[in-house]
Structure 1
């Protein structure tokens, strides 16, 4: 009988499967049953109602784990579905009992929707003392575990996310203990095939080992200082190492020969290789991060870190680089644009940071021995305007962001890639920016006593310069119907213009101090706030002004058909 046939016979032997429920209390007499069930069971129910923690005393909850899967990533089998994964989950339950004397129940959820899984597992919290997630595919497994941990009061652990790391880490610590070395003295990297290991030590030695039996294969000789980091590249054919001797070296993994040596601006302190191996980031003791092209070691860019960097990591598509900078900061860079996207501060101090498979998520190891999942808040960093930004607006279709600066410039950036679409100028310092509700127009409020109206592409509108103010315009707004634009000055004056022809519709001077806010009210009205403490509402009574009389108008009649 081969292994497959033997396994089927093992699982089908009566009783089928691998689990059964065994009572822990005697249930032979009527009295036993009256204690186990009604009416006696009511008293522990009341005790738990008064104090939920009493459930750990009066029920099996404290020693009961749910082994939960949806069968989307069963080891060696892939996505076989929830029901087909049941034998594996029963097996895991047996491991809990056999090796830890913990009772476990397998639960198979027939869904691949992370939201449905999260909701279902949350609802089961009163039944169990812990949750063991099993064989759930990535990247959904990261979100499921993280959100359950945040929302549940019992332990939640996804075996496949952490088990390999825990066992590998324990093996490495044991190996170091046998060799009389400390973790901070070595740098270790596995080849993609898992057959070889490269390790670097504080004495500058660099060795290749057979992962199966630990046999030494060959040294890489040349470094004269402690190894900072090592990495495999070119499908395991090249080894890259950085050292405190002030060099970055490239080696032939097959024979240990040095292929190239690069001298960075200062001795390296950290290194990271992009996952596509196209580029490499090297942090240096002069508080810079140098980006190299891996193929030929050409410098792509130098980033000013501003403090010492102790850890680096690229995200999956190498568009972000996380740098542990100083004692308590993780700085996320956009290396392609040489811009800081975001800075995370960790008061307890940062030991290391690494991106997860999920976009916008970062694992941060802090000095207080905690690992937290941090969500990044910023999608992209735009180039600095070099001046105070006084106004921002999104394009109606969401493709652009408009920014006005105090120096009078008005710029548009593409949200998709951060590239500048246009750069124009008001001609004087600008205090505010407004966008019409339909997205067709922009307006800037200028120190020169003008409102300038722009088309959405940055070109001046037909009647683009609206003047006549007696003081700098500090606030601007469009009416809700897109017909009017109003400006308020530092002296408290409010003027309303017709956008199409630039005609002055109305002027108000009731405020006793400068305007501090302007907003549309209704279809064709405005509200203004002032430093005089008042908020005033203005209605546009004049639809159009008819000029031409040389003196007072004394008579008026409308055409009957008007």
Structure 2
């Protein structure tokens, strides 16, 4: 890893090596959870392992609760819930593809389970479930402070109020959704799609817009904390769209060029416009991603060069960037100043 001794803004706080290829990462409070492809999940604090769990059949995603007291892990054959207080793991081998999970708050978590979304309490008991979608649920997200659940499956994004199996609002789109991003303001719902597009709905009235022309499928979308900026892959450039005002219709994105293939995106908490991106060449780039004007082509403020492809990125608060590499290395980089990169 290329870091000069004088570069205190990116000093390594700790390292950990996983004996598997990492596939998912989550960071909340003082905890970092790293899932390996074989289904082993390590729970770390300050770089030391404090817990572990196994999900039979492998892992696809991992999500820590907002208070870092629980962890949900999903995989091809089911899901598992880990409790920090006593290390207890509750595993459910449902036989259904579970690609995603999202915490509404510290008490409720939604899990994709085949063609349905399940909503569970913090002990793993099922509270309610959506009716089956037309195909496998690929992603989900909470809106309105956990009062509404958006569920993506082929052909539509469907929104459910609490305890409503049938959707209360349906946003149709004839395509395969790979990822879902909801603005923190609740104003916009966006899907990244297999057909190399981003589809956008304005939540209040369903007004929609498609941004097409990407050379590759769009598998990663992320809103910053303000809800005004959306970062996307789908090309060698990271594209950053401006959702302030009336939204991105009729505008061009900022382009961030560093990677041949983008493998991870993560906004720094706090709304400063700082973005971290990772590539299959092992590079981590740090950007002032909202600088310049529409159509600007930006260069990274700093880069870190690794020896293996970047598997995942996550911020553990505004001052600590967690990087997972496909060779199993997990490294935490410390950024002491909110304004600095």
The TM tier, using the shorter chain, reads: 0.5 to 0.7
- Contact kept, 8 Å, 1:331 with 1:340, in 2: the verdict is no
Task: Indicate the SS of the match to 1:325.
Answer: coil
Query: Is 1:287 the equivalent of 2:191?
Result: no
Please point out which of 204, 225, 228 is paired with 2:115: 204
Structure 1 residue aligned with 2:13, among 156, 159, 163? 156
- RMSD of the alignment, in Å? 3.4
Q: 2:184 aligns with which of 257, 275, 294?
A: 275
- Determine if contact 2:120/2:127 at 8 Å carries over to the other structure: yes
Deviations 1:137-184 (A, max 9, x none): xxxxxxxxxx6243x5xx3369xx956475344699549833434316
Report 1:240-255 matches (<5 A): 240-243=150-153, 245-255=154-164
Name the residue aligned to 2:96.
none
Unaligned runs of 5+ in 1: 1-121, 127-146, 384-562
Helix, strand or coil: the match of 1:226? coil
2:57 pairs with one of 163, 180, 195:
180
Contact 1:305–1:325 (8 Å) recurs in 2: no
Is residue 137 of structure 2 the alignment partner of residue 227 of structure 1? yes
3-state DSSP of counterpart to 1:206: strand
Q: 1:237 to 1:377 in 2, by over 3 A?
A: closer
Take 1:350 and 1:166, find their aligned partners in 2: how far apart are those partners? 26
Answer whether contact 1:190 1:197 (CA < 8 A) is retained. yes
Where does residue 260 of structure 1 map in the other structure? Answer: 169
Deviation at 1:290, TM superposition (A): 1.9
Q: Could you say which residue in structure 2 is the equivalent of 1:379? A: 292
Structure 1 position 263, deviation (Å): 1.8
Q: Measure the CA separation in 2 of the matches of 1:309 and 1:223.
A: 22
Whole-angstrom distance in 2 between the partners of 1:238 and 1:350: 31
Q: Is the 8 A contact 2:260 2:280 kept in 1?
A: yes
* Aligned-pair CA distance for 1:226: 2.5
Aligned counterparts, 1:108-119, within 5 A: none
What's the secondary structure of 2:55's corresponding residue?
helix
Query: For 2:272 and 2:240, how far apart are their aligned partners in 1?
Result: 13
Asked if structure 1 preserves the Cα contact closer than 8 Å seen for 2:240 and 2:290, the reply is no
Contact between 2:189 and 2:203, CA under 8 Å: does it hold in 1? yes
Q: CA deviation at 1:291?
A: 1.6
**C-alpha separation between the residues in 1 aligned to 2:264 and 2:209?**
23
**Cα distance in structure 2, aligned partners of 1:162 and 1:199:** 18
Give the Å deviation of 1:371. 4.5
Question: In the superposition, relative to structure 1, how do residues 355 and 269 fare at CA in structure 2: closer, same or farther (>3 Å)?
Answer: same
SS at match of 2:256: strand
Deviation at 1:370, TM superposition (A): 5.8
List gaps (5 residues or longer) in structure 2: 16-25, 42-51, 62-75, 77-98, 297-341
Q: For residue 235 of structure 1, give the secondary structure of its aligned residue in structure 2.
A: helix
In the alignment, the residues of structure 2 paired with residue 180 and residue 286 of structure 1 have an alpha-carbon distance, to the nearest angstrom, of 29
- Residues 156 and 171, structure 2, Cα contact 8 Å, conserved in 1: yes
Who is 1:366 aligned against? Answer: 279
1:442 paired residue number = none
Deviations 1:112-134 (A, max 9, x none): xxxxxxxxxx9xx89xxxxxxxx
Q: Which has the higher contact order (CA 8 A, sep 6+)?
A: 2
Report the Cα offset of residue 275 of structure 1. Answer: 0.9
Whether the 8 Å contact between 2:156 and 2:174 is mirrored in structure 1 is no
**Which residue, 237, 241, 258 being the options, matches 2:147?**
237
Q: Which runs of 4+ in 1 moved over 6 A?
A: none
- Distance 1:178-1:289 versus aligned 2 partners, 3 A rule: closer
TM-score (norm 2): 0.58
